[in-house]
Every structure is written in C-alpha cells, then in structure tokens.
A and B are shown apart, each in its own frame.
Chain A
Amino acid sequence: MIVESHENRVERKASVARVDADAQGSRQEWWCVDLGQATPVNRDHFDLFTESLFRFTPDLVQGRNRVFLEMSRTRNLFNLHTLASRIGVLAGRYGFDSSVIRFGVGKTIPAAWVQTRWRNRELSVLPMDAYFDFIDPLNFFEPDRARRERLSVFRTLGMKTIQSLFDVPKEAWLVRFGEEFDAFLEHLEHGEKICWNRFVSKTPLVEKTRWNAEEYVIDAEGLIFRIKPLLDRLCERLYSLHVSIRKIELTLKLDRPVPDRKITLGFTFPQTSRVLLLKLLREKLSREMERNPLSDPVVEVEMAVLETGKREVTSTRFSFSEKDEQAELEEERWLELISFLGLKLKNREDVFQAETTEHLLPEKSWKRVLLSTPDPALRLDRVSGLFPKRPVRLLSEAKTLRRMGGYLKLEEGLFKICAISEPEHLSGYEWDVDAGGAFDRTYYRVKVEDRDGGCQEWWVYKDEHLGKLKLHGVY
C-alpha cells in the first residue's frame, strides 16, 4: 500500500488542479452555493466549509462567499433539495447562517452564478447589472466606481437587458471595450470550455483545544475526554476528503515551560472508525501514562494527522445476502483486531501472515504479509513436490554444531547420530547482490538421540564457503 504524507497529497493535487474542461465537453452541470453574505466571510471557516463539500463531488471551484460544484458525475446520487438541506447543515457547523444561502444551477459557472443571483438566465430578462456577473462569476459582488460608470454608459445608450447588447454588432463593443467584452462573450457563449481552477484543500489536518490548568488533567481518561471532539472534527474532515488515517500525532503541552510531549500512533491499515480510533488512543495513552507519568497537568492538546491512506467506500458495497453481510462483519472484526494487536505488540510487524517466495535460501523462502481480509480460501501456495519435505520448525538463527565422531555437539549437550539422509544441495545467487549474494549449502536430515533416549530429526546444513555445520530446523 502506497503511503504518502498529507502535504504531498495536497501538492500533488494542486499540480493537477486545472482540469481540461474540453474533456468533459458540454455535459457539465454546475451547482452554485452562495452564502448570501454582504461581506467576505471568515477565510478559514470558508475553506473548511468548501472542503466539506468534497463529499458531494471531487470538482469544486471556490469564489468569494460562493462555491461551485460540478455535479454531472454525481448528480444521480443527489437532488437539489437533499443537497440544499445537507449543505445548510454543513454551513451551520462552520458558523454560517443557512437561512440566507442561495442555490443555482447552470451548464457553466457564469450561468450558475447568474441563476443564483438573478433567479433567471434568460438574456432578454436579465438586467444590465448582470453584465459583470458573466465576466467575473467567481468574485463579482457589487460594482466599483469604474464598473458603475460602465453600466451607466450602457443605460445611456438605451441598453436595459443583456439581450440588447446584441442589437449592436459585437465588433463595435470589442473595439470600444476590448478585453472586458471579449471575456463577457467567452463566458457567455463558451463557458463550458474555460478551465476554472479547482479548489484544493490546503488547511492542515490539525485540531487543537485548550483549557485551564485548574481542571487538572493529568491522566489518560481526562485527556481522552478532551481529545474526542478533536477526533470527531478530524474524522469529519477526512470523510469529506475520502481518506483514512494511517498515522496521528498528539502533542501535549504542559502547564510548566517544559518540552511538549509527543505521542505518535500508527496503524497497520488506514482507519476510519471513530469508535476504534478512540479505543486505540485510550490504549496508547494509558500505556504511555503508565510508562512515563505526567509531572504536570496538561493545558493544551493538539492532534495532527501525519499520514493518510485511501478510504474504501464501504457504504457503496451493498450486501444482498446474509453471506455477504457475514463477510463484511468478519472483515471489520479482522481490521479491528489487526490494529489493536499492532498497538499491543512492540512492533506492528510482529503481526503477520506468511507467503512463500521463490528464493532458494530457506530463511528467505517466505515473507511476511498482512491481508486486509480474513478470507481463509484466498490463496494456496503450490509448493508441494517442488522441494523435499521441509522441517516444521525453522530456527531464526542457525545454531553452530560440531561433529565429534558419532555425535553432534550443541550448546545443550551431546547428541548421538542415529542416521543421516541423502544430501540436498542448495546454492546460487552469485550474480544477484540484491538477493543477498552467493550461498552454497548442503543440507542433511539427521536423526539424533537426545538425553532422554527419544529420537529427534534435525535439518542440518554445511556451509561450503565457511566449512561450518549448522542446525537450521527440527522436524
């Protein structure tokens, strides 16, 4: 699974923000959401609100107090009424008055804005005031002095509606007003071909909260109580961005001027479940507090998402049978278990499944993997018959043996040799440095008698390069 930091993801998306509208042709459908505010709104809140609209479409264009959503690819999932009510709720969360929000639909951004502001797109009905709405649909609000003079010129010439502009040959306007009229014509007649800059969220995935030292938060439970709202807000944002958490970092600021305490939590699989995240956070914090108790109360906590992963949209997986439902439940339990075990054990790599490889060296003939599904019938490695029978147990580090006549000497003592099998020669990779370089071993299955008189069968090899005898496995 490819892991990238949140910053890299933002940079990558920003570099491809300009989408060639020609590829979409005239199938665009723009829905405009105008906050209806007379003055520019709080930038940070507006960016967060715009980001939350990613849950409806990946194509957003942000203007002044307005956002345009390109809905041609997702329109079958929503209608304007449900969208309006959901957007109203989202706006309320960021402190905007949802009762003054206006909506409009059009084939192009200028058309959608004009529809939103004037409730009409008919050129014969639109007043001349809409002239600048066509030219600058993203930012135009109220005309400044220069623009008011322009509009008065039009009115002096008897132009009352946009349609009346076309009673005069276009060339006349172009000569008189140049680029401005050119932009008007282009936006009016070819608006679908314009490349509008898509919105890319650059707000870092960081949330923080602060409280008084008198509240005396010094243990894991107290911290969890204050972390939960931060986690809720972050998860809400990640839901809109269609990503999951792979790694988060908590920064605890203490009451005294001492270095902040940082706690990092990584997950084997990207996580979206708030319940599980909270459980894992509680587990991690409890262990941290046990190991290194806090000397002073915490007064501020900051939660930052350092790495994200692609989120699988499970809500679109429809379970049509009990079997599918059961499989989904098992998969959820599997992911939860793996995440929890990764936290419990020292290294996340200590939880794994195995998969055979084609390497000749026995210790490299398998590798650690971790599947995201517990399906037991996933894969059967077809290796039977390719090699002689391998021992049940393979030592992580081969033990050095010494042959003393009819005995083998190990650290644990002397073992009498009962029988030795035919040799099996394994060698290769003289040319492949990446594979670990050359090796040359001769393996034997040796039956030995232990101290209690019982019989064991060992897998012993002689390293032809070093001339040493090693115990590698036990049957």
Chain B
Amino acid sequence: MKNRVPLEALKSLLQEQAPVRARRDLGVLPGSEPPHPLRAGQIIEVLGEGRWGWCMRLLRERESSRAAWLSLDQALLFPMALAQEGIALSRILFLERVPALQGLDVLLPVLRSRLFEVVMMDQGLLPRMRQDAQIRKVQLTAEEAGAAVLVLSQFPTNSYGVQVRVETGPGREFRLEKVKGGTGE
C-alpha cells in the first residue's frame, strides 16, 4: 500500500511530540534498602506501627520543603516531638477533622496550591477500591504539583501505587519493607 508511515517512524514522531515526562525526583524513602526513590505523583501507602515516626524522619530529611497533614479526627501528631527532631513547625500545615466524604475536596486544593512537597493523610480520606478514576486524579494532580502523597494506613488496602511497611527495631531504628509497587516511573 502507498503512503503508509512506517511504524518505527510513527513511534519516534509521537515520542518527539509527547515525550514521556520524567517525574520530579523528591529524594529517597528513608530507611529503604536499596534506596527507593520518592517521586512526585506517587501515592504511597505506609503501614506498620512505626509509620508516624518514619514520616517524621522523612520530614526531618527534607528540611526545606513544606508538608500538609490531613487527619480524620483531631491531629494526633505531637508538635513538640517534631520540634525536638529539629523540624520547623511553621513548615507543616495541619488539617484536622476532615470529613471522610470530603477527603478529595480538601486534598486536591492542597495539592493544586503547589505549596507542599509532601502530603500525609489518614487512611479513609482517599477512595479505595473500585474508584480508580479518582485515585488517578489524585496521582495526576500530585504529579503536576510536584508532590507525593503518603497514606498512613492501619490495614493494607492494596489500592495505591506503592505500599511500604515500617517496623521499628529494638533500638528504635526503622526497618522499611517494601511490600509492593514499582520504581515509580
């Protein structure tokens, strides 16, 4: 047949017009061996008893970035503990008593403001199963905003991209076990 564009030429043409964007690199997950990258647009489910302490360590390692903390109930995080770790409290915005049904209504504006690199939230504020479109929306918004979303869960939901479990060892060190999820590409 005439005037057929070869497949390879078509692929390279599409690649030039819409190159795959590299997601913004936000560092690595603390305690991960081998180092697991933290990238903008990732939704990471954090399990295990040490999840709060691990989040605190993440904040400490990222000195210059702002974080938002969304909780269903009254915020449990103790600001004094954060201050003792050397985390500037003015970097963190707390949102408490977020209605479960309005989780997305609060999360998306927070991400779109492009003020935060990390958004941490309670399980229950993000949709879980059979709501892929909404999860995808969060992921795209986070990617556009250059932020990562960490969902602190008591029980695994298997709904998000990456799932990590944080256990604390006898000497209070963190042991990060990646349960599932790719490299974030």
Q: Give the Cβ gap from B125 to chain A, nearest Cβ, in Å.
A: 12
What CA separation (Å) do A356 and B92 show in the bound complex? 13
Q: Is B109 an interface residue (CB 8 A)?
A: yes
What CA separation (Å) do A330 and B65 show in the bound complex? 13
Chain A residues within 8 Å of B95, by CB? 341, 345, 350-351
Quick check: A353 and B89 within 8 Å, CB to CB? yes
Quick check: A383 and B80 within 8 Å, CB to CB? yes
What CA separation (Å) do A5 and B97 show in the bound complex? 30
Given A333-B114, A350-B95, A352-B94, A377 and B80 contact (CB-CB distance below 8 Å)? no
Q: Is B27 an interface residue (CB 8 A)?
A: no
Q: Give the Cβ gap from B170 to chain A, nearest Cβ, in Å.
A: 8
Given A374-B115, A376-B65, A353 and B92 contact (CB-CB distance below 8 Å)? yes
Q: Is A13 an interface residue (CB 8 A)?
A: no
What CA separation (Å) do A473 and B56 show in the bound complex? 15
Interface residues of B in 21-52 (CB under 8 A from A): 49, 52
Residues of B in contact (CB 8 Å), total: 44
What CA separation (Å) do A371 and B84 show in the bound complex? 21
Interface residues of B in 89-123 (CB under 8 A from A): 89-99, 102, 105-106, 109-110, 113-115
Quick check: B113 and A334 within 8 Å, CB to CB? yes
Quick check: B80 and A356 within 8 Å, CB to CB? yes
Q: Is B88 an interface residue (CB 8 A)?
A: yes
Contact with A along B113-151 (1 / 0, CB 8 A): 111000000000000000000000000000000000000
Please tell me which one of the listed residues A344, A366, A379 contacts residue B80 in the complex, with CB atoms under 8 A apart: A366
Q: Give the Cβ gap from A392 to chain B, nearest Cβ, in Å.
A: 4
Most central of B91, B106, B109 by chain A CB within 10 Å: B91
What CA separation (Å) do A365 and B105 show in the bound complex? 32
Most central of B64, B80, B92, B96 by chain A CB within 10 Å: B80
Given A340-B109, A353-B90, A376-B64, A389 and B76 contact (CB-CB distance below 8 Å)? no
Residues of A in contact (CB 8 Å), total: 47
Quick check: A384 and B84 within 8 Å, CB to CB? yes
Q: Is B78 an interface residue (CB 8 A)?
A: yes
Chain B residues within 8 Å of A333, by CB? 113-115
Most central of A353, A378, A381, A392 by chain B CB within 10 Å: A392
Q: Is B161 an interface residue (CB 8 A)?
A: no
Total inter-chain residue pairs, C-beta < 8 Å: 130
Chain B residues within 8 Å of A336, by CB? 113
Quick check: A381 and B89 within 8 Å, CB to CB? yes
Please tell me which one of the listed residues B78, B85, B106, B172 contacts residue A393 in the complex, with CB atoms under 8 A apart: B78
Given A337-B109, A376-B65, A393-B52, A346 and B97 contact (CB-CB distance below 8 Å)? yes
Q: Give the Cβ gap from A321 to chain B, nearest Cβ, in Å.
A: 19
Q: Is A159 an interface residue (CB 8 A)?
A: no
Please tell me which one of the listed residues B64, B74, B167 contacts residue A377 in the complex, with CB atoms under 8 A apart: B64
Interface residues of B in 68-89 (CB under 8 A from A): 73-74, 76-86, 88-89
What CA separation (Å) do A350 and B68 show in the bound complex? 13
Quick check: A337 and B115 within 8 Å, CB to CB? yes
Q: Is A225 an interface residue (CB 8 A)?
A: no
Quick check: A341 and B109 within 8 Å, CB to CB? yes
Q: Give the Cβ gap from A424 to chain B, nearest Cβ, in Å.
A: 13
Please tell me which one of the listed residues A353, A391, A395, A454 contacts residue B81 in the complex, with CB atoms under 8 A apart: A391
Quick check: A362 and B80 within 8 Å, CB to CB? yes
Given A333-B115, A392-B52, A376 and B83 contact (CB-CB distance below 8 Å)? no
Quick check: A375 and B90 within 8 Å, CB to CB? yes
Q: Is A82 an interface residue (CB 8 A)?
A: no
Q: Is A316 an interface residue (CB 8 A)?
A: no
Quick check: A353 and B113 within 8 Å, CB to CB? no
Given A355-B89, A381-B89, A334 and B115 contact (CB-CB distance below 8 Å)? yes
Residue in A closest to B64 when the chains form the complex, CB atoms: A376
Given A345-B97, A351-B93, A384 and B86 contact (CB-CB distance below 8 Å)? yes
Quick check: B115 and A396 within 8 Å, CB to CB? no
Chain B residues within 8 Å of A356, by CB? 79-80, 83, 89
Quick check: B65 and A475 within 8 Å, CB to CB? no
Quick check: B77 and A392 within 8 Å, CB to CB? yes
Q: Is A21 an interface residue (CB 8 A)?
A: no
Quick check: B81 and A392 within 8 Å, CB to CB? yes
Interface residues of A in 386-403 (CB under 8 A from B): 387, 389-396
Please tell me which one of the listed residues A347, A383, A473 contacts residue B97 in the complex, with CB atoms under 8 A apart: A347
What CA separation (Å) do A307 and B152 show in the bound complex? 40
What CA separation (Å) do A341 and B98 show in the bound complex? 10
Please tell me which one of the listed residues B53, B90, B96, B110 contacts residue A378 in the complex, with CB atoms under 8 A apart: B90
Chain B residues within 8 Å of A383, by CB? 80, 83-84
Please tell me which one of the listed residues A330, A337, A379 contacts residue B90 in the complex, with CB atoms under 8 A apart: A379
Q: Give the Cβ gap from A164 to chain B, nearest Cβ, in Å.
A: 73
Chain B residues within 8 Å of A340, by CB? 109
Q: Is A354 an interface residue (CB 8 A)?
A: yes
- Could you jot down 20 A-B contacts, CB within 8 Å? A333-B115, A341-B109, A353-B92, A354-B89, A355-B89, A356-B83, A365-B80, A377-B64, A379-B90, A381-B89, A384-B84, A390-B81, A392-B53, A392-B78, A393-B78, A395-B76, A396-B76, A474-B52, A475-B53, A475-B172
Q: Which residues of A contact B (CB under 8 A)?
A: 330, 333-334, 336-337, 340-341, 344-347, 350-356, 362, 365-366, 371, 374-381, 383-384, 387, 389-396, 454-456, 473-475
Told that A344-B102, A356-B80, A375-B90 touch, could you supply 20 new A-B pairs with CB distance under 8 A?
A345-B99, A345-B106, A347-B97, A350-B95, A350-B98, A351-B93, A356-B79, A374-B66, A374-B115, A376-B64, A378-B88, A383-B84, A384-B84, A389-B84, A391-B81, A392-B52, A392-B78, A394-B80, A396-B76, A456-B49
Top 3 closest A-B pairs, CB basis? A354-B79, A394-B78, A381-B83
